[in-house]
């Protein structure tokens, strides 16, 4: 049950009154009912809240402030013997020393049954208005709530760690700067959430009280600069304007400078400056993506924009909360984590597609040393090296392999009727058909202007060789969408089982080519066996 509407508050201007003084003056102080979502500025003051409760059952009850990063929170009540019971939590106390360790300050209510107990809550909080929801839980509900939160946060931080590791590995393996900056961005974003959500104070830096106070404000600010750096890396604004690129670097520098200034001053004004520059950084991210989407030629930019969208939307909630423009809520606490969980896989996939496109060009360039540039098949030199090894194995193992020479007999006719461009398309289609006609251990190669060769390795029979040749011829007679309607590819094939006589690899290939080239274009028999 929320205490909003069930409690009253008063702000101690000097922040020095004790629980005894508050209790003594309880009827003279101007207590005001606390409404839902109300924000209170209590810098260098103390907020007091009071409520009465009766425990009518056997359950243990707790009161929780649903906000990490509170400077100090205290609970006071009188025990059955009339003595003050005092509990304290907040950034000034190590989480392990809280009454109930966790991300949020939580206190146990009186175990006394059947009698009304008056409770006093005291809060100190600087730099940001206090607006944390205060809720009563029984023990089972509190445990269930915390288990659910730990599961979801564990999933988020586990995903973040995986993305950082895989992105870093891709950056090193492929020398891809985009993945490297993405790993830094995801890592800093997760670190900011570790501090903002209280996970760091609970698990990582329990006794580093000074660092915990600073990290809550420092790490989220750094993550905003990292987000803009990553956006600049993937959009490359220098392609459009050096001035724009310099402006982006200026915003990044201003953001980091403001974070450093805020860490030194620890004031409300310096934190407001960080929040305003964070809003500016998010606006620049939107501008860069829109610019590249409208004026660039990157086919993956829509997907990158889709990846940024969840964080850009969800970041507005904690940003507006930091500027004290909206009350605290689940979206102000967890909105950025939800957006990041949606963003990371989308951006990783987009970067993988973009990196794959670039690597494909690099692979194709490297492959030119042993493949044909037009068809992607192996060229003659690579085939001869492979054929030489196949002949050596066949002689030593006493089995036969097969070699086929394939010629497009109507190539000149296609070129004459439709032009050289269509004839080149016919070569590409033919290469695709030949590639589909072989197995993983075989090889297809281009060995002439419109001549190809197929090496069938492993133990091969005449029946298998002829069947493969028939498959090649039949595949060429099927129409292709890449060629003009009604145009088919007419293959002539010569085939032989090797080794034959003392022919080496070069002699065997020449023998097969002579056989297929001697076939007349109008020949009715399209397959010419040479030695069977």
Tens of pLDDT, residues 223-276: 999 999 999 999 999 988 899 999 999 999 999 999 999 999 999 999 999 999
294 falls within a domain: yes
**H and E: helices and strands count for the chain:** 15, 14
Question: Is there a single domain that holds both residue 452 and residue 518?
Answer: yes
Instruction: Based on the fold, state whether residues 396 and 503 are members of the same structural domain.
Output: yes
CATH assignment at residue 497? 3.30.70.270
In a domain, 144, yes or no: no
Distance CA(384)–CA(368), nearest Å, equals: 16
Band the pLDDT of 370: cuts 50, 70, 90. Answer: confident
φ and ψ at residue 377, rounded to 5 degrees: -80, 165
* Cβ neighbours of 367 (radius 10 Å): 13
Count of domains for the chain: 3
Q: Does a structural domain hold residue 487? A: yes
**Average pLDDT of every residue of the chain:** 92
Assigned domain for 155 exists = yes
Q: Answer whether residue 296 shows pLDDT above 80.
A: no
Calculate mean pLDDT across residues 314-329: 89
Structural domain including 510 reads 380-529
Residues 357 and 409 in one domain: no
In a domain, 139, yes or no: no
Contacts of 340 (CB under 8 A, 6+ apart): 156, 160, 186, 189, 190, 193, 310, 311, 314
457 or 452: which leads in pLDDT: 452
Domain boundary pick from 310, 343, 366: 366
Contact 179, 171 (CB under 8 A): yes
Residues 361 and 384 in one domain: no
Q: Is the model's pTM score more than 0.85?
A: no
What is the tens place of the pLDDT at every residue in 375-419? 889 989 999 999 999 999 999 989 999 999 999 999 999 999 999
Percent of the chain at pLDDT exceeding 90:
80
pLDDT value for 327: 80
pLDDT digits (tens, 9 = 90+) for 140-172: 999 999 999 999 999 999 999 999 999 999 999
Q: Within this chain, do residues 397 and 423 fall inside the same structural domain, yes or no?
A: yes
Counting residues of the chain whose pLDDT is more than 70, the rounded percentage is 98
Query: Looking at the structure, do residues 328 and 395 belong to the same domain, yes or no?
Result: no
Asked whether residue 330 is domain-assigned, the answer is yes
Kindly state the greatest CA–CA separation across the chain: 117
Residue for token pair 């009465």: 52
What confidence tier does 357 reach under pLDDT thresholds 50, 70, 90? Answer: confident
- Same domain assignment for residues 300 and 155: yes
**Average pLDDT estimate for 443-458:** 93
| Residue 143 maps to a domain | no
Residue 368 confidence (pLDDT) above 90: no
* Residues near 157 by beta carbon (within 8 Å), at least 6 away in sequence: 190, 193, 194, 199
Q: Which range among 53-57, 163-167, 371-375 shows the weakest confidence by mean pLDDT? A: 371-375
- Tens of pLDDT, residues 205-223: 999 999 998 999 999 999 9
- Domain co-membership, 90 together with 165: no
Does some domain include residue 506? yes
């Amino acid at each position: 049950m929320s205490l909003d509407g069930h409690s009253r508050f008063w702000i101690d201007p000097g922040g020095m009154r004790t629980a005894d003084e508050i209790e003594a003056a309880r009827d003279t102080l101007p207590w005001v009912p606390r409404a839902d979502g109300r924000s209170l500025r209590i810098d260098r003051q103390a907020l007091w809240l009071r409520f009465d409760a009766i425990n009518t059952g056997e359950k243990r009850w707790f009161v929780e402030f649903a906000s990490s990063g509170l400077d100090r929170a205290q609970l006071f009540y009188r025990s059955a013997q009339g003595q003050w019971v005092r509990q304290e939590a907040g950034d000034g106390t190590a989480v392990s020393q809280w009454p109930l360790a966790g991300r949020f300050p939580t206190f146990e209510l009186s175990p006394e049954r059947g009698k009304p107990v008056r409770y006093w809550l005291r809060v100190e909080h600087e730099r940001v208005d206090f607006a944390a929801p205060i809720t009563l839980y029984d023990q089972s509900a509190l445990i269930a709530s915390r288990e659910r939160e730990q599961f979801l946060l564990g999933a988020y931080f586990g995903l973040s760690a995986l993305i950082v590791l895989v992105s870093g590995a891709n950056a090193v393996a492929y020398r891809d700067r985009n993945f490297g900056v993405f790993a830094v961005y995801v890592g800093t974003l997760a670190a900011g959430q570790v501090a903002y959500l209280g996970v760091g104070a609970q698990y990582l830096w329990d006794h580093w009280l000074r660092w915990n106070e600073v990290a809550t404000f420092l790490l989220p600010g750094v993550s905003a600069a990292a987000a803009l750096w990553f956006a600049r890396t993937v959009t490359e604004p220098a392609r459009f304007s050096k001035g724009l690129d310099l402006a982006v670097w200026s915003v990044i520098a201003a953001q980091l400078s403001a974070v450093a200034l805020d860490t030194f001053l620890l004031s409300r004004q310096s934190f407001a400056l960080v929040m305003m520059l964070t809003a500016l950084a998010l606006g620049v991210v939107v501008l860069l993506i829109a610019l590249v989407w409208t004026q660039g030629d990157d086919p993956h930019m829509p997907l990158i924009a889709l990846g940024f969208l969840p964080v850009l939307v969800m970041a507005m909630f904690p940003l507006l909360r930091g500027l004290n423009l909206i009350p605290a809520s689940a979206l102000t606490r967890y909105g950025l984590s939800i957006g990041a969980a949606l963003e990371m896989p989308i951006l990783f996939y987009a970067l993988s597609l973009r990196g794959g496109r670039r690597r494909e060009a690099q692979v194709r360039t490297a492959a030119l040393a042993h493949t044909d540039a037009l068809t992607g098949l192996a060229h003659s030199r690579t085939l001869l090296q492979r054929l030489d090894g196949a002949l050596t194995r066949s002689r030593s193992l006493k089995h036969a392999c097969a070699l086929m020479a394939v010629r497009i007999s109507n190539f000149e006719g296609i070129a004459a009727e439709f032009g050289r461009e269509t004839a080149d398309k016919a070569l590409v289609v033919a290469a695709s058909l030949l590639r589909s006609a072989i197995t993983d251990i075989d090889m297809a190669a281009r060995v002439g202007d419109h001549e190809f060769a197929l090496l069938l390795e492993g133990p091969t029979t005449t029946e298998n060789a002829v069947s493969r040749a028939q498959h090649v011829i039949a595949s060429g007679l099927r129409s292709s969408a890449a060629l003009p309607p009604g145009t088919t590819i007419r293959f002539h094939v010569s085939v032989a089982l090797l080794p034959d006589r003392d022919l080496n690899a070069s002699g065997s290939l020449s023998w097969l080519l002579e056989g297929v080239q001697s076939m007349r274009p109008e020949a009715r028999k399209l397959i010419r066996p040479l030695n069977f």
